[in-house]
A and B are shown apart, each in its own frame.
Chain A
Amino acid sequence: MEAALLVEALRSQFAGPFELTLGAGTCAAITGPSGSGKSLFLRMIADLDPNEGRVWLKGTERASVSAPDWRKQATYVSAESGWWADTVVDHFAASKRSEAAALAARLGLRADLLGAPVTQLSTGEKQRFSLVRAMLPDPPVLLLDEPTGPLDEESVARVELLLRERMTAGTSILLVTHDPNQAQRLGGQHYRMVAGRLEMP
């Protein structure tokens, strides 16, 4: 079977080298202490930080595609969501808004929040909207950095349900989490990041 995501000798000045193979529709969970390089690893795959090494997505090498096109395929969702317009709905293309509302509802987000100013949202609400934003174009690989960090139990369950559905449909997920139980529930492969190195537990 061809790997959805293949990482070879990926390293930067701060972390690596990393090797990773992620099959289509599977999830690899990474745990480890803060500052060990988990986020850096995801950011390097998304090509947001300077790095060396090779990454393939379904057989296409990263170096052969433009950076924006690559990030549309391997989409990074940071632990702290970023917003550039005033209201939530402004962050979605007009043609995608009904789809966004449906997805938001599945994550337990009230319909009126879509029209609210971003500053009025709680951290957890922003986090779920940033997931909606990333999942809307249905990228084949999701790089999720503590996607359920600030969420309550019910919301965590909703997010995990949605992620599992996407996996069944073929999406591959690289998940950074502080919650070992979540790593067990979602992850097919398990890694531990220690001082910039990926270890098998």
Chain B
Amino acid sequence: MNPILLTPLDISVAASLIILDALLSIWLRLRLHRQIAIAAARMVLQLVAIGYVLRFIFSLNNPAATLLLILVMVLVAAREVAARPERRFKDHSNFIIGFVSVGFATFITAVLALTTAIRPQPWFDPHYAIPLAGIILGSVLNSASLSLDSFLGSVRRERQAIEARLSLGESYRESIAPLVRDAIRRGLLPIINQMSAAGIVTLPGIMTGQILAGLDPLEAVKYQILLMFLLSGGSGLSALATSYLAAWRLTDERQRLRLDRLQ
């Protein structure tokens, strides 16, 4: 079965729904019509642009170009991770922690999936590598930023407790462990929720897309299950890396708590 291809007319019909939103905003004085228009225009432009970029990269079929695009995606994700938490490091540590943990988690998970489960020929075929990296990145970014936010938020609040333990001669690792645990837990919650709700509360986007594109539901489900496992693995790795890196950045060779490194 071939996917039903959309014509510009089909999309224009759907766009009338956006017009409906805008009219609603004018009628109810929600003052959102401007934002709706800008957001819709942005969405269309961004997606069309990425469509052309992907088509171009696919036609190049060059591992270096694929890697470069993924690297750009990781950099953007790292910036998001760095910007999300309320508390920041004075230097660029937020960004570096985000880059290292997001990059590491995405790379490990994507390479594992490409070389063992999906196995395109060659394994770095951009048709598979780029969308897969994109999906994993979204989830990994979410858990990294939640973990970082949780850790940096609680560390100042728990300062007395941490320093009390340090003063009694406990190691920094022991003293900070409850906060690291909480931060990792925080980063893992969304993917656990997503897994529990999958299929009942929500039909996951990828699966829906594949079914719409004509794939047999059970085949689509298999893909979705694989993806969920990949996403939870990626989230776990990035929550772990983010929390430990942030904890490590807040201490020094004399096992002090260096809150002076935060803004």
Contact = CB atoms under 8 A, between A and B. Distances in A.
Interface in A46-62: 46-50
A68 B169 contact: yes
A182 interface: no
Nearest to A62: B254
18 contacts: A48-B167, A50-B252, A50-B258, A67-B166, A68-B169, A71-B166, A71-B169, A72-B169, A75-B168, A78-B167, A82-B160, A82-B161, A83-B160, A84-B165, A133-B164, A133-B168, A134-B168, A137-B168
Sorting the interface of chain B by its residue count into under 10, 10 to 19, 20 to 34 or 35 or more gives 20 to 34
A82 to B, nearest CB: 3
Given A50-B256, A84-B178, A68 B164 contact: no
Contact of B163 (A48, A66, A134, A137): A48
A41 interface: no
A152 interface: no
A69 interface: yes
Contact of B166 (A48, A77, A80, A133): A48
Given A50-B256, A68-B171, A68-B255, A78 B178 contact: no
Contacts of B166: 48, 67-68, 71
Contacts of A50: 252, 256, 258, 260
**Highest count of chain A CB atoms <10 Å: which of B158, B162, B254:** B254
**Highest count of chain B CB atoms <10 Å: which of A68, A80, A133:** A68
A184 interface: no
B259 to A, nearest CB: 10
A81 interface: yes
Which 4 pairs of residues, A with B, have the shortest CB-CB distance? Answer: A82-B160, A82-B164, A72-B169, A84-B161
Interface string B226-263: 00000000000000000000000000101111101000
A30 to B, nearest CB: 18
A82 B169 contact: no
Contacts, number: 66
**Highest count of chain B CB atoms <10 Å: which of A46, A77, A82, A134:** A82
Interface of A: 46-50, 66-69, 71-72, 75-78, 80-84, 130, 133-134, 137
Given A72-B169, A84-B164, 18 more contacts: A47-B256, A48-B167, A50-B252, A50-B260, A67-B254, A68-B170, A68-B171, A68-B255, A75-B169, A78-B160, A80-B160, A81-B160, A82-B161, A82-B162, A82-B163, A83-B161, A84-B162, A133-B164
A145 to B, nearest CB: 10
**Highest count of chain B CB atoms <10 Å: which of A66, A69, A81, A84:** A84
Contacts of A78: 160, 163-164, 167
Contacts of A48: 163, 166-167, 256-257
Contacts of A133: 164, 168
A49 B251 CA distance: 11
A71 to B, nearest CB: 5
Contacts of A49: 256
Contacts of A82: 159-165
Contacts of B168: 71-72, 75, 133-134, 137
Given A48-B256, A50-B252, A75 B167 contact: yes
A82 B164 CA distance: 5
B171 A81 contact: no
B151 to A, nearest CB: 16
B169 A76 contact: no
Contacts of A83: 160-161, 164
A80 B254 CA distance: 22
A83 B158 CA distance: 9
A44 B165 CA distance: 16
Nearest to A49: B256
A133 B165 CA distance: 10
Contacts of B256: 47-50, 67
Contacts of B170: 68
A186 B170 CA distance: 29
B164 A81 contact: yes
Nearest to A42: B167
